Amino acid sequence: MLELKPLAYAYDALEPHIDEETMRIHHDKHHQAYLDKFKLALQDLPDLKDLPVDEVLWRLADLKEKLDSKTWMVLKNHGGGFAHHNIFWEIMSPKGAREPVGDLKNLIEDLGGFDKFRQQFSDLAMSQFGSGWAWLVLNQDKKLEMYNLPNQDSPLTLHHQPLLGVDVWEHAYYLKYQNRRADYVDAWWQVVDFAAAEKRYQTALTKNHS
């Protein structure tokens, strides 16, 4: 049964970096709407409706030929929106590790260090034209990779495991930051939780999709 999990922290817990009103609308309205529309589409898809959303997105390329294009788009857009926001709330925290820890710390050191990583990731967040996300993923060779994707297109559909993602849809920042996406991305680094990303990395290393 798919449901919207409550945040693991208060709506105002990420203040002043991410404001309470944005968190309320983003979680209770936007995230809820992605889930509602995803569930509605699944009602007519008995083979898919009991799968975890990540699994649906993992199979999305194969499903393209099997489903009508409208249904397929709902799974992509709203399934993606549901899955991605689950990750987004998880990898932020009022008291998290603001810099990489564990294996991710070593891997990011190997890529040139955290400052460079942070700059590259911020650049991806900034250069996403229009709505989308910047992602850090574990690819099929079990290597780290970073890129941006438009809208709710999912790394899972590329068979990559998302470890960290920043939402750069305007709904994620417009109330507080208006057009200043760079200020929002800077603020996001103040609430990111690399302990959660590390946990996702360890899970991703051993995860097998059918």
Instruction: Tell me how far, at minimum, the Cβ of 65 lies from Mn ion, in Å.
Output: 29
Map residues 113-152 to x or -, x wherever contact with Mn ion holds by CB under 5 A.
----------------------------------------
Yes or no: say if 27 and 33 are a contact pair by the CB < 8 Å rule.
no
How many angstroms separate the CA atoms of 85 and 34, rounded?
A: 9
Question: What's the burial of 15, exposed, middle or buried (CB within 10 Å: 0-12/13-18/19+)?
Answer: middle
Cα torsion at 13, 203, 77, 1 (round to 10°)?
A: -80
* Complex with Mn ion: residue 35 or 104, whichever CB lies closer: 35
Vertex 86 angle, CA 175 and 3, to 5°: 110
In the DSSP assignment, the letter for residue 28 is I
Q: How far is the CB of 131 from Mn ion (least distance, A)?
A: 9
- Judged by CB under 5 A, the stretch of 71-79, 96-104, 142-150, 162-170 that binds Mn ion is 162-170
Q: Please, what is the minimum distance in Å from the beta carbon of residue 30 to Mn ion?
A: 5
Identity of the residue, 17 or 105, whose beta carbon is nearer to Mn ion in the bound complex: 17
Q: Which two tokens stand for residue 41?
A: 């589409």
When asked if residue 167 is in the footprint of Mn ion (CB under 5 A), the reply is: yes
Q: Toward Mn ion, which CB reaches closer, 153 or 167?
A: 167
Calpha distance 101→202 (Å, rounded): 12
User: Is 153 a binder of Mn ion (CB under 5 A)?
Assistant: no
- Count of residues engaged in binding Mn ion, rule: CB under 5 A: 3
- Strands, E, within the chain: which ranges? 132-138, 144-150, 161-167
Provide, rounded to whole angstroms, the least separation between the CB of residue 145 and Mn ion.
Answer: 22
Looking at beta carbons only, is 90 or 198 nearer to Mn ion? 90
C-alpha distances in Å from residue 112, one per residue of 99, 117, 134, 164: 14, 7, 19, 18
Structure tokens at 39: 């569930």
Segment interacting with Mn ion (CB under 5 A) among 36-44, 124-132, 149-157, 172-180:
172-180
Q: CB of residue 88 vs Mn ion: minimum separation in angstroms?
A: 7
- Interacting residues with Mn ion (CB under 5 A): 167, 169, 172
